[in-house]
Structure 1
Amino acid sequence: MHPHLPSTRNLTAPPVSDPGRVVEELAAGEPLSAEEAAYVAAARAQNTMRGYASDWREFTAWCAQHDRAPLPAAASTVTAYLSDLAAAGAKVGTMSRRLSALKFVHAGRGLPDPTSNARVMTVWEGIRRTHAAPPDQARPLMPPELFDILEACPVTKTWKTKGRPPEPDLAGARDRALLLVGFVGALRRSELAGLRVRDVGAHANGLVLTLPRSKTNQTGDRPELVVLPRASRTDRCPVTALEAWLTLAGITDPDAPLFQGVTKGNRASGRPLHPESINDLVQAATARAGIDPAGYSAHSLRAGFVTYSHLRGASDRAIAHQTRHRSLSTVGTYVRVHTAWVDNAATVLGL
């Protein structure tokens, strides 16, 4: 067991400050105190707040271009904006987030929510019925491809500088740990990016991750547990890989990010990986193994866990225990493509 991994953890943490400059200081209302800004920033996940800030900038730019007031936004302004987005081919999911940003900013300023107006709701319902499409699903990343990707992670770092001896490749060790923890833990990219050393606890059967916040627990009032059992083979074991990464990187601070960037000098940067960079990491690791990275992303690890567990005979309820899905029907969306081929008469037509 890594000597610096605690068996218990402190559930208290200071409020997070800044995402999206606290949504442009809550749409340029009265200045926020440092404490207010920190708590406003903590009202949603950091990525959500950054998205709201970006969406608000997009909306205000559109309003300036069309000589309309963004705040308070009239129902006719919102419906015209949605119509323009739909005509430009924006995805329904993108438009839904834009509406959430408008609602958030108006609520923060104590103004009526324009998105709940009957005119807006009717136009929005029509857009969804007209333009909705099945969501893009990440390709599941699972054995045997996962094993090939793990084997392709670099082990030794060599240098062009004369006299500097080879060293263990930190980025390779981190990638192996992240891939195995992400797969076995069925973690989302935001969860991987947000983990701290203090969130990892020892257990007789392996490790336990305590997720203070997640997509289904954004307030942090009921931390979720994820287990990482020891594997029979050390080269496929998330516990071994995680302990190796922490030891090689010299990460000991309980508050340190669990998965960090690696400098060109082969040192842990101390800074957490951004969720988007985890997508890049998964794609780069996939390509390194000679596998076409198209369709793979950080979510492929979670999708791979669900699909592979199902193919190995696990029940939907057992899978949901690890993925923390509240609805078993959601689990089925991950495995539908693969199970569609199982025991299907179309595969034995002999054409």
Structure 2
Amino acid sequence: MGDRILQSRSDNTNIKYFGAYKRWECFIKSHGFSALPADSIHISLYLNSLLNKGSSFAVISAAVYAIKWAHNMRGLPDPTTNSFVQNLLEASKRTAKKPVYKKDSDTNLSNIFSQSDDLLVVRDLAMILHSFSGFLRCNELSNLHCCDVKFAEGYFTVVVRKSKTDQYRFGSDIVISKGGTAACPYVMLKRYIHIASINLESDSFLFKPVYRSGSVCRFIHKNKPLSYTGAKEAILKRLSLVSESKNFGLHSLRSGGASIAANNGVNDRCFKRNGRWRSESSKDGYVADSIERRLKVAQNLGI
């Protein structure tokens, strides 16, 4: 029954809460008090100590919700509803909030490697264009299977089995059109599939780690997805050729694709569906309006 209760939240959420709870447990036990059940005043002192260390709102909120989660899992009264705890949580939004810097994005790499048939290079380009055009998060990209891709005339469909915004695993599909430039995701993916001899009926991961030995470049034998670190290193290495790598992050591709689509007037409902956003605020956080669109505000005031 315990395993079933844990399944009320996603695996990633449980891992996050468990880590935050263990940090709370270590803190309070070092002072000789109980972590479970916890006393509200002790939680308040813990949050205050985190704020004194300069912890961000994300760390503070994770601590509060982890303690709440641990008590709920045991059927114990929730000590985080105390006004001291709630006020400290609210205070952390103001005192610990750090400015958010959206990363820039650039996918103008295809011309540089237009003649390359190196598996590693073409895999990286396919990942970049895939993420850019499909507004994909890193974990959505790495968890794609070969059979999740279906080609049609002039476009291909990608099935996203697991997404941050799809807690009940209904799955969603993305359609990506064929383009007319060297940076066409349709052509690049076809090229990658050909070079890697990928079987689209296979349930193997689409983007896997690659090893190089002399002139040989091949997938590793084990069927495992590319890790976050591996994907980050591969993508930043390519993007650094066209701009300073410090201006990029893995979310650059999702944010960059979303911004260009929004500024080119893509239908809002289709735009939101392509990015799998649950709320308007989440969607808007990814879009950097162009100066032309921003100027239209004053231009339409009739002055």
Distance in 2 separating the partners of 1:52 and 1:340: 43
- The number of residue pairs the alignment matches comes to 292
* 8 Å CA contact 1:186, 1:301 repeated in 2: yes
Q: Counterpart of 2:245 in 1: which secondary structure?
A: coil
Partner of 1:267: 218
Residues 50-104 of structure 1: CA deviation (Å, up to 9, x unaligned)? 3333323322222233323222222122211111111111110122223233233
Deviation at 1:261, TM superposition (A): 1.1
Amino acid in the other structure paired with 1:137? Y
* 8 Å CA contact 1:140, 1:302 repeated in 2: no
Q: Which runs of 5+ in 1 are unaligned?
A: 1-29, 157-167, 347-351
Match of 1:243 among 190, 193, 199: 190
Distance in 2 separating the partners of 1:46 and 1:339: 41
Deviation at 1:251, TM superposition (A): 3.7
Distance in 1 separating the partners of 2:110 and 2:5: 40
Partner of 1:26: none
Distance in 1 separating the partners of 2:284 and 2:26: 41
Q: Counterpart of 2:295 in 1: which secondary structure?
A: coil
* 8 Å CA contact 1:316, 1:328 repeated in 2: no
Partner of 1:277: 230
Q: How do 1:151-230 and structure 2 match up within 5 A?
A: 151-152=111-112, 168-220=117-169, 222-230=170-178
In the TM superposition, structure 1's runs of 4+ consecutive aligned residues that sit over 6 Å from their partners are none
Q: Which runs of 5+ in 2 are unaligned?
A: 299-303
TM-score (norm 2): 0.83
Distance in 2 separating the partners of 1:180 and 1:126: 41
Partner of 2:301: none
Q: Does 1:110 align with 2:75?
A: yes
* 8 Å CA contact 1:155, 1:172 repeated in 2: no
Q: Does 1:291 align with 2:243?
A: yes
TM-aligned CA distance change 1:242 to 1:340, over 3 Å: same
Deviation at 1:41, TM superposition (A): 6.9
Q: How do 1:251-262 and structure 2 match up within 5 A?
A: 251-252=198-199, 254-262=202-210
Residues 189-235 of structure 1: CA deviation (Å, up to 9, x unaligned)? 12112222232233333211222231221111x322211111123x3
Deviation at 1:337, TM superposition (A): 5.6
Partner of 1:140: 104
TM-aligned CA distance change 1:224 to 1:241, over 3 Å: same
Q: How do 1:21-36 and structure 2 match up within 5 A?
A: 36=3
TM-aligned CA distance change 1:314 to 1:81, over 3 Å: same
Amino acid in the other structure paired with 2:107? L
Partner of 1:312: 264
Amino acid in the other structure paired with 2:166? N
Partner of 1:324: 276
Distance in 1 separating the partners of 2:297 and 2:146: 50
Partner of 1:24: none
* 8 Å CA contact 1:230, 1:237 repeated in 2: yes
Greater mean deviation of Cα atoms: 311-320 or 177-186: 311-320
